[in-house]
Structure 1
Amino acid sequence: MVAPKLLLGLFLCLLGTTALATTRSPRLGGTERCSLQRLTASQPSQRYEYEGGSIELWNVYEDQFQCVGVEPVRKTIHPNSLSLPSFHPYPRLVFIEQGAVHWTYNDGNQDVVAVAIRDLNNPANQLDMQPRPFYLAGGSASQSSTPWQQGKGSQQQGSFNFQNIFSGFDTELLAEAFNSDPQIVRAMQESRNRGLIVTVQQPMQFVTPDEQQQGQSRQQQAGRGGGLNGLEETICSAKLLYNLDSQREADVYSRQAGKLNYVNQHKLPVLSYLDLSAEKGYLQPNALFSPHWAVNNHAILYVLRGNARVQIVSNSGQTVLDQQVNRGDIVVVPQFFATTAQAGESGFEWVAFKTNRSPMKSPVAGYTSVFRALPLEVITNAYQISPSQAQNLKTNRETESMLFSPQWTSQRS
């Protein structure tokens, strides 16, 4: 059975790969990829159906995804279905949008919808910017009807042909390696064209430790004088789940405006190895996300519910995005590009993946803003306004930070 807590909220799952064994180093270069004149909210461009679910891919060759170095993926796993095991040369962040999942097996009664980014530009990836998953089981020869636009010229047909890695080895050598019957090895090598997500014949059951009991066990050990030597939470046993839907643990909360929940390396230490983090936010109807820029990361925003008007401005002062975004849209916000969002009448809920383990943002309005820190004379002379007007800019939102209630909107109406 799935641990009860998995049924109560939305979770961020971290599937670490080779990044866990690397030291921190700069991300790959390529600033020319971020000479963006236009951004746009986008939906998946490819969809592949399998017996146990589906996989949807965004076009990784779009300029905006090349700039931030990630590939978004959305996976749907039907009840009693299994997403086949694989490994990747880059880390991934996975957000469970709907349902509860046990590892990559759905033992619930509804579809599991998982949204992920593959961090192709992570220093752990020493190959290239191509998505390269390696599969330990399964195989497929599926094709999507929509071709990908690759770069500024050629197109790449939406094919997804693969075999698992065992199919490339000699059967006798594998049988020797596993000390097993060659007939069993041939079954491992044959794909049977089942795809990446398969239906399980009989329900699977797992025994999993209760996290709360584990925590109590550590405390009892410390109380007996055993002490903690700092090595208990090794990489192999590190916590990989975090609940991003807890109102009690919200980092920013306003009854009138909404809430923000962050998870970074301080809340989930394994993120320090992945150099990734996430944010989940909710805006009340007509509330505003303060104009701000990201100091040290790109952001890939996925809309969970509701809608909002989102604006993004480049370093030249050009509006590169001014669009209403809706459920299922992905929006790319490059580092230092200024952005804001105003929720629609039904509110706005999103999750954002960040390409830094400790992301920082700098708001231009509100209690923690740049304007509040600027001297009055600087604002007065920079914009040629009166001191009283400059003071209003500094203090009109002094009781709010990041999330603003719709006061100005209500005054105009």
Structure 2
Amino acid sequence: MLQCAGVSARRTIIEPRGLFLPQYNNAPSLLYIIQGRGIKGITFPGCPETYQSFQPESEQILTGTAESQSQRIRDEHQKVHRFKQGDIVALPAGVTYWCYNDGDVPLVAVQVFDISNTANQLEPRQRSFFLAGRHQSGQQTYETGPESYETGPQAYEIEQQAYGAGRQAYEAGVRPIGMAPLRGNNIFNGFDTQLLAEALGVNAELVRQLQAQNDPRGEIVFVPGGLRMLRPSRSQEIQQQEFEESVQAQEQFGESWQGPYNVTANGLDENFCTLKIRANIDKPSRADYYNQRVGRIARVDSQKLPILNLVQMSATRVVLQRNAMITPYWSMNCHCGMYVTQGQGRVQVVNHQGRTVFDGTVRQGQFLLIPQNFAVLKRADRLQGFHWVTFNTNQNAMINQIAGKLSTFKGMPLQVLMHSYRLSIEQARRLKFSRRNEFKLFTPRSPRTLVQDQ
């Protein structure tokens, strides 16, 4: 089913002071932070290095490297982005990114790739191209399966074995117990050493370091002294995040937004290079729909995060209280990958032939792919509740709900319902108006209540 839908999913754990080495992918993706916090760097092509550090004049004199009329640049790089639990991070195809855990707890994230996206001109498989490190064949990536659209989806277990090791494994440069052997090298390994040295303007010894032929480490390494880079202070970053979130809550992006590659009066620098890459969907205050007794829904689409126009994906965060339901619906314009973050619930999926292609309990750590236009019904467990994140393969995902406010049933004349289902006028009224005051999130109803409604 994942292969048919053109979707790939993986889960990553990075221990404290772990660095996820630079890589790029053949397909755009969305990353949801389940636990922890960290720093992510994304290198956009053609964008300036806006973070700069200059060597003090006293150091220039002592080292004999003073330059007339200017200071010597110590380091410069593109902007780094801080993220935390509950954030959705957008990653365009072909863009280099890296990640570092500067927190005190393991960083846990789930990433979903849209490998059928037009940005991917390779075969419909997720491919990671490493600038450093080596590929770990034991990483949890799911993109194929024995099922198809006809046989139905399957809930994939991606909770039990995440890749990423503890400090000892990082330092020793070995894989953790149970991890499959390393295979594949970084892209520099395939170039001729002398030719690459000439291209980079460095010596062959340094190029061999880049090629990492004798480096057994995988794609996550431990940084003993912590990673040092140019960035604002922690308090300044928090203030900036709060400011951006307040602006995000007020701004409404319309058709005037031209997309990241269309240069406007502000130029490429301000229209593409400074795009936000993250938005938080975990805070209750960010909910688009809220019912105290039932739960909440929060969405992030291209209206809230314009970079999603480039990624062509969006996300939805749903929190259902115990025994609550979400309206029966189908997705109009995308496939939906559902990852359960807490609790469990029953999910039913029905195909175009009216056959139940999935009917089961989906639990924490499982991933379920729901194809476009397949009807779905979800109900939270009566003891635990049901929390999940949906990754959509469209930047402005749309669903068509069957019941409740603004629904298919509500939009039909009573006579159409009567003759479609051979109902009396009273039965048609109950069908149409039973959930008339509820929108998307439905309160549970007892058998006694259902009998009284008859």
User: Which range, TM-score by smaller chain?
Assistant: 0.7 to 0.9
Letter in 2 for 1:355: T
2:134 equivalent to 1:139: yes
CA change 1:301–1:141 in 2 (3 A) is: closer
1:270-301 CA distance string (max 9 Å, x none)? 00111100000000100001100000010000
2:324 equivalent to 1:287: yes
Q: Which residue of 2 aligns with 1:350?
A: 388
Task: Note if contact 2:136-2:219 (Cα within 8 Å) is conserved in structure 1.
Answer: no
Q: Which residue of 2 aligns with 1:102?
A: 39
Residue 263 of structure 1 deviates from its aligned partner by 0.4
The root-mean-square deviation of aligned C-alpha atoms, in Å, is 2.7
Q: Which residue of 2 aligns with 1:111?
A: 106
Q: Which residue of 2 aligns with 1:70?
A: 7
Q: Which residue of 1 aligns with 2:219?
A: 196
CA change 1:193–1:268 in 2 (3 A) is: same
Q: Which residue of 2 aligns with 1:247?
A: 284
User: Which whole-Å CA distance do the structure 2 matches of 1:329 and 1:149 have between them?
Assistant: 15
Q: Which has the larger radius of gyration?
A: 2
Residue 212 of structure 1 deviates from its aligned partner by 5.1
Task: Note if contact 1:87-1:134 (Cα within 8 Å) is conserved in structure 2.
Answer: yes
Letter in 1 for 2:184: F
Stretches of structure 1 that go unaligned for 5 or more consecutive residues are 1-63, 153-157, 220-227
Task: Note if contact 2:2-2:144 (Cα within 8 Å) is conserved in structure 1.
Answer: no
User: Which whole-Å CA distance do the structure 2 matches of 1:368 and 1:230 have between them?
Assistant: 39
Q: Which residue of 1 aligns with 2:314?
A: 277
Task: Note if contact 2:3-2:143 (Cα within 8 Å) is conserved in structure 1.
Answer: no
User: Which whole-Å CA distance do the structure 2 matches of 1:230 and 1:110 have between them?
Assistant: 41
Paired residues for 1:264-343 under 5 Å: 264-343=301-380
Task: Note if contact 2:126-2:143 (Cα within 8 Å) is conserved in structure 1.
Answer: no
Residue 396 of structure 1 deviates from its aligned partner by 1.3
Greater alpha carbon shift after TM alignment, 80-89 vs 200-209: 200-209
Task: Note if contact 2:182-2:218 (Cα within 8 Å) is conserved in structure 1.
Answer: no
Residue 363 of structure 1 deviates from its aligned partner by 0.6
SS of the residue corresponding to residue 346 of structure 1 reads: coil
Task: Note if contact 1:288-1:404 (Cα within 8 Å) is conserved in structure 2.
Answer: yes
Task: Note if contact 2:11-2:110 (Cα within 8 Å) is conserved in structure 1.
Answer: yes
Letter in 1 for 2:427: Q
SS of the residue corresponding to residue 248 of structure 1 reads: helix
Q: Which residue of 2 aligns with 1:384?
A: 422
Identity among equivalent positions (%) equals 38
User: Which whole-Å CA distance do the structure 1 matches of 2:319 and 2:143 have between them?
Assistant: 33
Letter in 2 for 1:178: L
Query: TM-score, normalised on structure 1?
Result: 0.76
Paired residues for 1:71-220 under 5 Å: 71-103=8-40, 104-139=99-134, 161-191=183-213, 192-209=215-232, 210=237, 213=240
Q: Which residue of 1 aligns with 2:432?
A: 394
CA change 1:141–1:353 in 2 (3 A) is: closer
Letter in 2 for 1:242: A
Letter in 1 for 2:218: G
Stretches of structure 2 that go unaligned for 5 or more consecutive residues are 41-98, 148-179, 248-263
Q: How many residues align?
A: 335
Residue 169 of structure 1 deviates from its aligned partner by 1.1
Task: Note if contact 2:3-2:145 (Cα within 8 Å) is conserved in structure 1.
Answer: no
